[in-house]
Amino acid sequence: MSAEVGYIVTGTVEMAIHGRPTLTLRAGDGFLIPPRTPRNARDIGPDTGHMLSTCIVETGQPLASFTGGTS
């Protein structure tokens, strides 16, 4: 897995990061997620949320692995 650094460009996003309280991020907010930490982002409106993020991946490692969560 990878570390992720990002920024909410527009809208409002709910960010669930394993082991931490769920965050409500708005346009202008940034975030940093440590490597190997399950996470999920969800647009909560009312406007469409846009997020820009970069993943930093160790050479030879997968970008992501899925862990049987619920939708």
Neighbours of 9 (CB within 10 A): 12
HSE of 55, CA atoms in CB hemisphere, 13 A: 13
Q: Please provide the DSSP assignment of 33-58 as one string.
A: E-TT--EEEEE--SSPPEEEEEEE--
Does residue 34 sit within a domain? Answer: yes
- The model's pTM: 0.76
Range of the domain at 31: 3-56
Better pLDDT: 13 or 1: 13
User: Is residue 30 situated within a structural domain?
Assistant: yes
**Domains in the chain: how many in total?**
1
Q: Give how far Cα 60 sits from Cα of 22, 35, 57, 67, Å.
A: 31, 14, 8, 20
pLDDT tens sequence across 3-62: 899 999 999 999 999 999 999 999 999 999 998 888 899 999 899 999 999 988 888 877
Q: Is residue 48 part of a domain?
A: yes
Give the pLDDT confidence score for residue 15 in this predicted structure. Answer: 95
Q: Taking 60 as the threshold, does the pLDDT of residue 70 lie above it?
A: no
Could you count the other beta carbons within 10 Å of the beta carbon of residue 17? 18
